[in-house]
Amino acid sequence: MITNDTQLHQAQENIQTIWRFLEAARETHPPLDYQRLAAPYLLQLQERQQEVVAYLSCRTSSPETDSA
């Protein structure tokens, strides 16, 4: 669960790392091997993206308290 902007940025970096890994794997593995290899990473990617969306969908403090 992402609770601050630092964690948000780390999640975004993790997502990019998974994307790059999957892109490279698609080019170097036969289709069936890629499907088996990619499945857990795709699940992890989806989970991280959902965490980012959840964090960005809500604001836990008001703008007034941020500047105080």
* Residue pLDDT, tens place only, 1-58: 999 999 999 999 999 999 999 999 999 999 999 999 999 999 999 999 999 999 999 9
The whole-number pLDDT of residue 62 equals: 53
pLDDT at 68 (0 to 100): 44
> What are the φ/ψ torsions at residue 60 (nearest 5 degrees)?
-85, -15
Q: What is the pLDDT of residue 60?
A: 66
pLDDT at position 59 is 79
> Which tokens sit at 47?
């989970």
What's the rounded Cα separation, in Å, for the pair 67 and 42? 39
